[in-house]
């Protein structure tokens, strides 16, 4: 799955270009940098690779989500509908702009259930935020229809789905805005980084300024820039952008290897009638970073997880239902509103209400789900060994 598995001379070359100039910041110092603009190059490569008009790099995927929300005008008291299965950064970003995360059920796509979204809409709802977890997507046609009917924004958290597509369009480029994460374990890594993608020039202009203290970036003298609004420092460095520039040029190779290895491993599990797989919406093309699969019951799934642990093959297999970072049942700090700084009364009340909120549909799905991370560097022999061991463990638990 992660691009760091194939880190090599290409990344070193791009980083050394920056080191040779000594200019590590993405803005200014035009003369000494000698024409080296890695962040600008990467932003252009993102628009060309994924088919969006505009791309604004950030210091992380979380910063990208925060920037996108600010650029979309999401703020104090606005409700953002999001799935109960995601990464903590999704709700952290919502809270950071003063908005309220409204968590709802997922379906077997492992992301937003459109019916649950409809039922969660209130007069305060501003945005629907599908999180395309583990390489695949939500039912975007259904969500776009809901947003259109209720005049809501659609923000794609595509941080875990680089390379996935829906009806021929790259995930992250379909909504009003979308985001990728380029952290160390993503499909493309910058070590740390992220991007806001959009086809709307106004959203891009706001994102561009917001990530750099509100600079308008309209002049040749950075010190003379105007500040049409307040911004923050979510800039990426030239060093991080340089790594990403080498990585994005290898994306097609990454995806080819990932899909090949995913398909090969899946064949071992497909032979077991009791195993089923996540639903990919019609027209969707999974990036195949994970193989997500289900067993018939929670009890059988937990027994398989335990047997994997006993046999030393649990590494790379994620049981999200009991994972501290990714599922609502483990987010005690969210449900008790444990923040270092004081948040609004509306935010606090909404978070405390989560203690009494149940997610039976999501529990029934996530308690039966295991996601296996797909490596880019597996050999055929390693896939055969892994698949054979996993199948044997499942069959043992099933009593065969």
Q: How would residue 364 be classed by pLDDT, with cut points 50, 70 and 90?
A: very high
Q: How distant is the alpha carbon of residue 316 from its chain centre? A: 18
Arithmetic mean of pLDDT, 101-118 = 98
Sheet of strand 369-373, all strands in order from the earlier edge strand to the far edge: 276-277, 290-294, 369-373, 317-318
296 CB-near residues (< 8 Å, 6+ apart): 274, 368
pLDDT of residue 356: 94
- What strand order describes the sheet that includes 79-83? 54-58, 194-198, 177-181, 153-157, 125-128, 79-83, 100-104
Q: Say whether pLDDT at 219 is over 90.
A: no
183/240 Cα distance (integer angstroms): 10
pLDDT at residue 335 tops 80: yes
Say whether pLDDT at 1 is over 80: no
Predicted local confidence at residue 376, as pLDDT: 97
Please enumerate in sequence order all residues whose Cβ is within 8 A of that of 181, keeping only pairs 6 or more positions apart, or say none. 60, 61, 62, 64, 89, 159, 160, 193, 194
Active site residue 118: no
Alpha helix ranges (H) inside 85-151: 88-96, 114-120, 140-150
Residue 227 CA to residue 352 CA, distance in Å, equals 38
What confidence score (pLDDT) does residue 233 get?
Answer: 98
Q: Please give the Cα distance from 234 to 194 (Å, whole number).
A: 10
Of the candidate CATH numbers 3.30.450.40, 3.40.640.10, 3.50.50.60, 2.60.120.10, the domain formed by 3-251 belongs to 3.40.640.10
What is the phi/psi pair of residue 16, to 5°? -65, -30
Give the single-character DSSP code of 374. P
- Can you tell me the mean pLDDT for 169-193? 97
Q: What are the domain boundaries of the chain? A: 3-251, 252-397
Mean pLDDT across the chain: 97
**Mean pLDDT over residues 347-367, rounded?**
97
- Is 90 exceeded by the pLDDT of residue 2? no
Which tens digits make up the pLDDT trace of 270-324?
A: 999 999 999 999 999 999 999 999 999 999 999 999 999 999 999 999 999 999 8
| Confidence band for 328, pLDDT divided at 50, 70 and 90 | very high
The angle, 0 to 180 degrees and rounded to 10, between the axes of the packed helices 88-96 and 61-71 is: 40
Q: Above 90 in pLDDT, residue 374?
A: yes
Classify residue 204 as exposed, middle or buried by CB count within 10 Å of its CB (0-12, 13-18, 19+): buried
pLDDT for 400 equals 83
pLDDT value, residue 302: 98
Closest CA to 91 of 392, 371, 354, 358: 354
Task: Please state whether 163 falls in left (phi above 0), alpha (psi between -120 and 50) or beta.
Answer: left
pLDDT at 223: 87
Catalytic residue among 38, 186, 335, 386: 186
pLDDT at residue 25 in the model: 97
The residue-averaged pLDDT of 93-113 equals: 98
Class of 252-397 per CATH? alpha beta
Confidence of residue 341 (pLDDT cuts 50, 70, 90): very high
3-state SS, residue 21: helix
Task: Please write the tens of the pLDDT for every residue from 28-45.
Answer: 999 999 999 999 999 999
Q: Grade residue 220 by pLDDT with cuts at 50, 70 and 90.
A: confident
User: What is residue 383's predicted lDDT score, i.e. its pLDDT?
Assistant: 98
Mean pLDDT to the nearest integer, 67-95: 98
**DSSP state letters, 221-250:** -GGG---SS---B-PPPHHHHHHHHHHHTT
Percentage with pLDDT > 90 across the chain = 97
Report the share of the chain in percent with pLDDT over 70: 100
Position 23 scores a pLDDT of 98
DSSP 181-204: E-BTTSSS--BS-EEEEES-HHHH
Examine the pLDDT at 363 and tell me if it is beyond 90: yes
Rounded Cα–Cα distance for residues 359 and 106 (Å): 9
């Amino acid at each position: 799955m992660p691009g760091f598995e194939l880190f090599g001379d290409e990344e070193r070359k791009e980083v050394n270009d920056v080191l040779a100039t000594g200019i590590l910041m993405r803005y200014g110092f035009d003369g000494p940098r000698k024409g080296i603009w890695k962040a600008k190059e990467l932003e252009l490569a993102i628009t060309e690779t994924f088919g969006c008009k505009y791309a604004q790099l950030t210091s992380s995927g979380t910063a990208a989500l925060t920037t996108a929300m600010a650029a979309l005008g999401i703020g104090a008291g606005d409700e953002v509908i999001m799935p109960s299965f995601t990464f903590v950064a999704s709700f952290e970003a919502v809270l950071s702009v003063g908005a309220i995360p409204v968590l709802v059920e997922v379906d077997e796509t492992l992301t937003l259930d459109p019916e649950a979204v409809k039922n969660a809409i209130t007069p305060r709802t501003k945005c629907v935020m599908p999180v395309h977890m583990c390489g695949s997507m939500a039912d975007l046609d259904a969500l776009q229809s809901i947003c259109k009917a209720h005049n809501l924004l659609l923000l794609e958290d595509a941080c875990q789905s680089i390379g996935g597509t829906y009806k021929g369009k790259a995930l992250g480029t379909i909504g009003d805005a979308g985001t990728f994460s380029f952290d160390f374990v993503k499909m493309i890594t910058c070590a740390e980084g992220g991007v806001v993608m959009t086809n709307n020039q106004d959203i891009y202009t706001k994102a561009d300024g917001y990530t750099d203290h509100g600079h308008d970036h309209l002049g040749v003298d950075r010190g003379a820039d105007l500040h049409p609004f307040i911004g923050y420092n979510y800039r990426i460095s030239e060093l991080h952008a340089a790594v990403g520039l080498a990585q994005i040029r290898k994306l097609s190779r990454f995806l080819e290897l990932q899909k090949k290895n995913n398909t090969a491993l899946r064949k071992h599990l497909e032979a077991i009638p009791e195993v089923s797989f996540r639903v990919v919406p019609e027209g969707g093309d999974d990036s195949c970073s994970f193989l997500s699969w289900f067993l018939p019951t929670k009890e059988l799934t937990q027994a398989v997880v335990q047997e994997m642990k006993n046999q030393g093959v649990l590494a790379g297999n994620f049981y999200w239902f009991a994972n501290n970072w990714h599922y609502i049942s483990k987010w005690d700090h969210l449900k008790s509103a444990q923040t270092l700084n004081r948040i609004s009364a509306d935010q606090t009340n909404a978070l405390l209400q989560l203690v009494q909120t149940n997610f039976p549909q999501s529990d029934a799905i996530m308690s039966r789900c295991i996601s296996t991370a797909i490596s880019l560097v597996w050999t055929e022999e390693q896939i055969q060994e892994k698949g054979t061991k996993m199948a044997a463990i499942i069959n043992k638990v099933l009593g065969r």
